[in-house]
Structure 1
Amino acid sequence: MTMAQRTIDVNDKLERPKLAVKTMKSTGSEALSPKKLWELGRVAAEGISADGSQLIYSVSNYQFEENKSEKNLFVIPTKGGEAKQFTNEAGGESVIQVEPNGDVLYMFKGQIWRKNLRGGDAVQLSHVEEGLENVKLSPDGKHILFSKSVLLKPYHSVDKYKDLPKSDVYIYDNLDYRHWDTWMDGRFNHPFVATYDNGKLGEAKDIMEGEAFYSPQMPFGGAEDFSWSPDGQSIYYVSKKKFGTEYAVSTNADIYRYDLASGKTSNVTEGMQGYDTNPQFNKLGNVLSWLSMKTDGYEADKNDIYVLDSKSNIKLNLTGHWDGTVNSYTWSKDNKRIYFVAPVQGTVQLFEVMVPVNFRVKSLPQINQLTAGDFDITGIVGETKDGIVVTSTRMTRASEVFFFPIKGKELSQITKVNDAAYSQIADTKVESRVTKASDGRDLFSWVIYPPNFDPAKKYPTLLFCQGGPQSATTQSYSFRWNFQLMASQGYIVIAPNRRGMPGWGVEWNEEISKDWGGQAIRDYLSAIDDLAKESYVDKSRLGAVGASYGGYSVFQLAGVHEGRFKTFISHCGLFNMESWYGTTEELFFANHDLGGPYWDAANNKTYTEYNPMRHVDKWDTPILIIQGGKDYRVPIGQGQEAFQAAQLRGIKSRFMYLPDENHWVLSGQNAQVWQREFFGWLKETLD
């Protein structure tokens, strides 16, 4: 294959090769505002026609008055051209699959619909009263796989005591009593299979009948947790078959095979202790692949691509020798390689790994980086005879669909949903910066400058603290923590790739575990101190902002910053590590990253030196604290405790409470309030 290839070395930090990206350049002078940000269309790729000539994509547009988004499907040639609207009904359509004859099967209001790419009317195929979720049709079209919740445990009083239908009491004997933003009601997602005939479903069978386990996984699993065998005779599904307290302290999810004929289930990944997810078959149907993490309890472990040969039953780790971690992947049409995306050097790029023809040969599979540049490849849509269709973002551009040619080095833009909007918006310059960290290692940061940046002027500057903590700060585009938006309000923003972020090798990624308040915090201080040496940075107007671990970082910095910062903003931050350990839901995360419980003396440093509440006596800087009422990852008490401490110490502080939001802010109007308060606080305390 003649794609642009480069064998990657993540330790080669200063060598940043770039590929050209054909996109529209802004000539506008209007600063990006919170309202303009939410008026942008949100683009998602949905599928490609069988001949590779047509792309089906969706656009979601937020409607301010209704406080909801409207999503529709569009079709455009993969080589670029005029886009045509494919659906226009009120609601949200999502493609299931594209048939060889051009029929697009898609979900709409819980039912299966069909419409041909050439046009014609949409036809509703299914009429299932309770609706369908996570639908996948078998390759032979004779069966349908979908999910629904099943009541297995009477945790809610109305289920336990039928004679008390107006009661509202929950009773638990184990952990996993709440997760993410939902209290456990005793219902578990299960995969169901039924015969299928042009939309007509036969009697559905629960293939996990009676098992108090989840599939798809909670809270974010979907259809990617299911896969059909190419012959349509077996179903592969992901499940963490643990219950209660054991479930809360483990990440040991496995891939199971269910045989339709016998009804028997077997564990394909038995003995593999971490997350095993995303099962897929190659086009020939003789090799199963999946993503796998090695360590039980470590949710951010190195994610590798495994393959299993059905003939020899030999299992191989294709990326184990590579010093990186995989986000997502797909098979090539020729079955010779797997394409995947992974973080590298402050970006996310497209890679390929060659799949051995003979699994018995002990050789390391070749891995090539295909794209490089100051952009993120956020997903792989599919392959055509000429190249690969991907989705991509930059810090100054929301997601669009691009084409990466087999012969050439240039990403070309297919969809142009937001080009007109960006043509009116002033560009913000983004540059990379390398700082020497306190331990002498290179520390990479992105720096985002205001429109029409003038180095002769002085600007207030924000240190952005990333969450995770093992999440990458790359060229992603957020509709809340948007660097372009921050810079457009007149702030310089620095976003360091501090210790704990993927893209700089496994060792760098793992260094933050059990050291939350150590080197990562020193990395933040090194980055802001280095940037503050520039004449255009007003050292008297520095702020630090962040969410989740980033919010923890803000709380920790508030006690150790020694006068560097003039203001802080912490969203869903961890403030009191003891009370957080006692109330958060995914205890495997706390056990791995903190070392374990506060009553274990071996973890003393986590709960003393690295516990923000222990440094409140040194707090002296204004702080805005934001908290979601349905955030069970970082429960409400964290924000309350921090606000109460700040108030009792007489520090200028504000508490923003969002009762119906979880760890994120999902409502459009709530997001607008969030932005107004965020920038209002900065204007009040930093300008």
Structure 2
Amino acid sequence: MTSDRMTPEVLWSMGRIGTFNVSPDGNTAVYTVTYYSVEQNKSHSVIYVLNLNSKAQTLLTTSPKSEYSPVFIKNGQKIAYLTAESGTSQLWEMNVDGTDKRQISFEKDDISEFLFSPDEKLLILIKEVETDASIAKNDSDLPKASGMVINNLMYKHWDTYVKSIPHPFVARFNGDRIEDSTDILEGEPYECPMMPFGGIEQLSWSPDSKSIAYTCRKKTGKAYAISTDSDIFLYDIATKSVKNLCKQADWTEQPCDTTMSLEHQAVNHQQKDNNVGYDQNPAFSPDGQRIAWLSMERDGYESDRTRLCVYEFATGNKTYVTEKFESGVDQFLWMPNSKNLCFSGVWHGKTQIYTTNLKGDVKPLTDEVADFSLVSLAPNGKDIFCKKHSMKQADEVYLLKGNKLEQITFENKHIYDRLTMGNVEERWVATTDGKKELCWVIYPPHFDATKKYPALLFCEGGPQSPVSQFWSYRWNFQIMAANDYIIIAPNRRGLPGFGMEWLEQISGDYSGQCMQDYLSAIDDLKKEPYVDEEHLGAVGASFGGYSVYWLAGNHDKRFKAFIAHDGIYNTQQQYVETEEMWFPNWDLKSAPWIKNAEGQMQKAFRESPHLYVDKWDTPILCIHGQRDFRIEYTQAESAFSAARLRGIPAQLLLFPDENHWVLKPQNGILWQRTFFRWLDRWLKPDNK
């Protein structure tokens, strides 16, 4: 293998660009880059300033502590940022050249995020507050007791036992220091931003600095676990009054069966528009007359199409301005005229930037084999700063001027210049029901069509996440290709960017058409003369892990090796093990003890992967994080034990300190090495 190929060590040496903000005059940008030390097994975030005219870059922070979330304040004369100095994460400020660093917040608790008001007299601080909504507080005379008395659902979320939740605090800023922070949800047991992935984007200041719009799902315990119904609330700074912008005045909670999908229940069949699904990420129009947010229509369906909702304060009317876009909106920005917005969304395996007006006329602004995400408008109000990545490049910042892109950052150019990347091609494959599916095929660097290569079927997670032009630091197609594998990554049934029928076909049918789409993809690829059809593998995580477990018992000897990461092995057990119950209720249709008229469980339970173990005949590697509360590690342990008891070659890679992902550098490299050792063992017999 030549030195110009991707390796795990090279992958972890890359800098990862974070937040990016531009000065009011448009001449300077400040941004973060996170670097990882394999030796120290940790990350470190630093702040750079960039001259947007000369492209000269200067490192502003050299502390051993991480510094992050920089923004310009005081008309661009200062930079405010977070640093984990003195044991807690606090706000600091510095000059644009990095001099005169000084602490400006002195909160007793960590500040995780912040947002200045437009007049900079106030700011929002996100801090953790204690909660006993599901886990009772232990007796005060037992401070070292580790036991937990659990009284309700949602006692765990993603990778954390929920003993604290984020709340937004409003604080004053006198230009010298931050003080007098007040919890705007004081006494309320609700989280804001929403766990586990919500951030400061879920709150917004009005242009006059007099009110805050925030995202909140005002539910706890079982009610929270079964519902995706979050709303946008308007908080008045002066009166401390709160208004729900999503719900009609006569709204009342609808009774429901908590053991079944909400799809056909009363909450999703009302005549009035009460925004009963996910509503989040509000942003005021520049003139303050409207507010927009991301909105899903149905309660209990976390993968519903995300629409862009515009609310007019004068009338209370809502308009959905992306109805002509048959996919979901990821992000959006208001244009200066308060009549147009730009947004990003996936279509046919590529996330592009679009524009829409208040009438819903949608037009594309980009058309590249890449994924874009929005950063901010340029100060001129016309150009757009964005990030772009693809299967051949990690995120870099670009400036979109009309239909032309100018690259702004070159964080990993010195690495790309030393690497040969595999080509990525679009391939449309016929499915068993007469449709076409888009697949991405990634070829090894220095590909030679006269040779034969083993091939991998990549099974996507989600189950409704797009196989777009994503760049991953673990499921990285270029490192798979660098190990001389051809990869086919299909946009099988259930993925967005191909219309609602394609997206929704998977619900209740995990083992159905989507599995046939996988097999159609690999069967199409293996016809190529350069594919070694005797040495095919299937790999995937989350729903992709479920897919691997299911294919292991239903592949008709196509594959010679499997790898399942954080996958569902037993859907019946998964139903009562996971935390967000809306997910299995919608996807699996009901609890496994609910039978139909014929006395049967739902299809997803009747055709669970664990029921096909008697047909397993292929070596399998099972990987799982023990802090994964979305899909418990017992799923991988069960699959591994079953394989070994049946005499099938199997390995189990457990990470006691990882969640649904693998985040620590040395664990990441161990993951990659184990991954390829397993594949090479079974798919490259000549290498033994």
> What is the letter of the counterpart of residue 606 of structure 1?
K
1:511 to partner: Cα distance: 1.2
- One of 180, 205, 216 as aligned partner of 2:182: 205
The reply on whether 1:286 has 2:289 as its aligned counterpart is yes
Q: Which residue of 1 aligns with 2:367?
A: 372
Query: Secondary structure, in 3 states, of the residue corresponding to 1:593?
Result: helix
> What is the letter of the counterpart of residue 24 of structure 2?
A
The reply on whether 1:184 has 2:159 as its aligned counterpart is no
1:582 to partner: Cα distance: 1.1
Partners of 2:176 and 2:528 in 1: how far apart?
Answer: 65
Judge which range, 341-350 or 50-59, deviates more: 50-59
1:166 to partner: Cα distance: 2.4
Query: Secondary structure, in 3 states, of the residue corresponding to 2:351?
Result: strand
1:488 to partner: Cα distance: 0.3
1:154 to partner: Cα distance: 7.7
Partners of 1:325 and 1:112 in 2: how far apart?
Answer: 35
1:152 to partner: Cα distance: 3.6
- One of 378, 381, 387 as aligned partner of 2:383: 387
Judge which range, 117-126 or 301-310, deviates more: 117-126
Kept after mapping to 2: 8 A contact 1:391/1:402: yes
Judge which range, 642-651 or 69-78, deviates more: 69-78
Query: Secondary structure, in 3 states, of the residue corresponding to 1:220?
Result: coil
Kept after mapping to 2: 8 A contact 1:78/1:403: no
1:419-458, aligned counterparts within 5 Å? 419-458=413-452
Partners of 1:411 and 1:393 in 2: how far apart?
Answer: 13
Judge which range, 317-326 or 459-468, deviates more: 317-326
Q: Which residue of 1 aligns with 2:491?
A: 497
Partners of 1:601 and 1:50 in 2: how far apart?
Answer: 62
Query: Secondary structure, in 3 states, of the residue corresponding to 1:203?
Result: strand
Kept after mapping to 1: 8 A contact 2:457/2:539: yes
1:220 to partner: Cα distance: 1.2
> What is the letter of the counterpart of residue 535 of structure 1?
P
Q: Which residue of 2 aligns with 1:678?
A: 675
Kept after mapping to 1: 8 A contact 2:545/2:564: yes
1:589 to partner: Cα distance: 0.6
Partners of 1:593 and 1:379 in 2: how far apart?
Answer: 30
Judge which range, 79-88 or 365-374, deviates more: 79-88
> What is the letter of the counterpart of residue 71 of structure 1?
S
The reply on whether 1:636 has 2:651 as its aligned counterpart is no
1:480–1:682 distance in 2 versus 1, CA, 3 Å = same
1:241-256, aligned counterparts within 5 Å? 241-256=218-233
The alignment-based identity, stated in percent, is: 41
- One of 108, 117, 123 as aligned partner of 2:83: 108
Q: Which residue of 1 aligns with 2:204?
A: 227
1:632 to partner: Cα distance: 0.7
Q: Once the two structures are superposed, what CA deviation does each residue of 1:627-648 show, in whole Å capped at 9, x if it has no partner?
A: 1101110001111111111011
- One of 564, 572, 589 as aligned partner of 2:566: 572
1:156 to partner: Cα distance: 5.7
- One of 39, 45, 60 as aligned partner of 1:86: 60
> What is the letter of the counterpart of residue 83 of structure 1?
Q
Q: Which residue of 2 aligns with 1:3?
A: none
Kept after mapping to 2: 8 A contact 1:44/1:399: no
1:80 to partner: Cα distance: 6.2
TM-score (norm 1): 0.92
Partners of 2:3 and 2:139 in 1: how far apart?
Answer: 64
Kept after mapping to 2: 8 A contact 1:180/1:219: yes
Query: Secondary structure, in 3 states, of the residue corresponding to 1:529?
Result: helix
1:156–1:499 distance in 2 versus 1, CA, 3 Å = closer
Where relative contact order (Cα < 8 A, 6+ residues apart) is larger, the structure is: 1
1:334 to partner: Cα distance: 3.1
1:77 to partner: Cα distance: 3.5
Q: Which residue of 1 aligns with 2:259?
A: none
1:56-75, aligned counterparts within 5 Å? 56-75=30-49
1:605 to partner: Cα distance: 4.2
Query: Secondary structure, in 3 states, of the residue corresponding to 1:457?
Result: coil
The reply on whether 1:128 has 2:107 as its aligned counterpart is yes
The reply on whether 1:507 has 2:507 as its aligned counterpart is no
The reply on whether 1:661 has 2:661 as its aligned counterpart is no
> What is the letter of the counterpart of residue 388 of structure 2?
S
Partners of 1:291 and 1:59 in 2: how far apart?
Answer: 28
1:169 to partner: Cα distance: 1.5
Query: Secondary structure, in 3 states, of the residue corresponding to 2:495?
Result: coil
1:485-634, aligned counterparts within 5 Å? 485-602=479-596, 604-634=601-631
> What is the letter of the counterpart of residue 280 of structure 2?
T
The reply on whether 1:149 has 2:90 as its aligned counterpart is no
1:644–1:29 distance in 2 versus 1, CA, 3 Å = closer
Aligned-residue RMSD, C-alpha: 1.7
Partners of 2:110 and 2:552 in 1: how far apart?
Answer: 50
The reply on whether 1:341 has 2:344 as its aligned counterpart is yes
Judge which range, 559-568 or 330-339, deviates more: 330-339
Kept after mapping to 2: 8 A contact 1:112/1:199: no
Query: Secondary structure, in 3 states, of the residue corresponding to 1:166?
Result: coil
> What is the letter of the counterpart of residue 206 of structure 1?
D
1:458–1:349 distance in 2 versus 1, CA, 3 Å = same
Partners of 2:462 and 2:344 in 1: how far apart?
Answer: 19
Kept after mapping to 1: 8 A contact 2:509/2:604: no
Q: Once the two structures are superposed, what CA deviation does each residue of 1:156-201 show, in whole Å capped at 9, x if it has no partner?
A: 67x331122222221122111111111122x232221122212533
Partners of 2:508 and 2:133 in 1: how far apart?
Answer: 38
1:609 to partner: Cα distance: 4.6
1:18-29, aligned counterparts within 5 Å? none
Partners of 1:466 and 1:301 in 2: how far apart?
Answer: 18
Q: Which residue of 2 aligns with 1:402?
A: 398
Q: Which residue of 1 aligns with 2:456?
A: 462
Partners of 1:681 and 1:624 in 2: how far apart?
Answer: 7
User: Aligned pairs, how many?
Assistant: 648
Partners of 1:309 and 1:70 in 2: how far apart?
Answer: 43
TM-score (norm 2): 0.91
> What is the letter of the counterpart of residue 634 of structure 1?
I
Q: Once the two structures are superposed, what CA deviation does each residue of 1:388-415 show, in whole Å capped at 9, x if it has no partner?
A: 1110101011111112112xx3322111
Partners of 1:206 and 1:31 in 2: how far apart?
Answer: 51
1:96 to partner: Cα distance: 5.0
1:293 to partner: Cα distance: 0.4
Partners of 2:189 and 2:135 in 1: how far apart?
Answer: 15
Query: Secondary structure, in 3 states, of the residue corresponding to 2:101?
Result: strand
Unaligned runs of 5+ in 1: 1-27, 356-363
Partners of 2:640 and 2:425 in 1: how far apart?
Answer: 35
Query: Secondary structure, in 3 states, of the residue corresponding to 1:272?
Result: coil
- One of 152, 156, 160 as aligned partner of 1:174: 152
Kept after mapping to 2: 8 A contact 1:567/1:622: yes
Partners of 1:173 and 1:80 in 2: how far apart?
Answer: 60
Kept after mapping to 2: 8 A contact 1:47/1:95: no
Q: Which residue of 2 aligns with 1:331?
A: 334
Partners of 2:341 and 2:83 in 1: how far apart?
Answer: 31
Partners of 1:131 and 1:562 in 2: how far apart?
Answer: 55
Q: Which residue of 1 aligns with 2:244?
A: 267
Partners of 1:438 and 1:565 in 2: how far apart?
Answer: 19
Query: Secondary structure, in 3 states, of the residue corresponding to 2:577?
Result: coil
> What is the letter of the counterpart of residue 672 of structure 1?
I
Partners of 2:51 and 2:329 in 1: how far apart?
Answer: 29
Partners of 1:193 and 1:534 in 2: how far apart?
Answer: 61
Query: Secondary structure, in 3 states, of the residue corresponding to 1:160?
Result: coil
1:263 to partner: Cα distance: 1.8
Q: Once the two structures are superposed, what CA deviation does each residue of 1:417-441 show, in whole Å capped at 9, x if it has no partner?
A: 1111111111211111011011111
Kept after mapping to 1: 8 A contact 2:170/2:184: yes
Query: Secondary structure, in 3 states, of the residue corresponding to 1:327?
Result: strand
Q: Which residue of 2 aligns with 1:32?
A: 6
Q: Which residue of 1 aligns with 2:260?
A: none
1:45 to partner: Cα distance: 3.8
> What is the letter of the counterpart of residue 662 of structure 1?
N
1:585–1:426 distance in 2 versus 1, CA, 3 Å = same
Partners of 2:466 and 2:413 in 1: how far apart?
Answer: 27
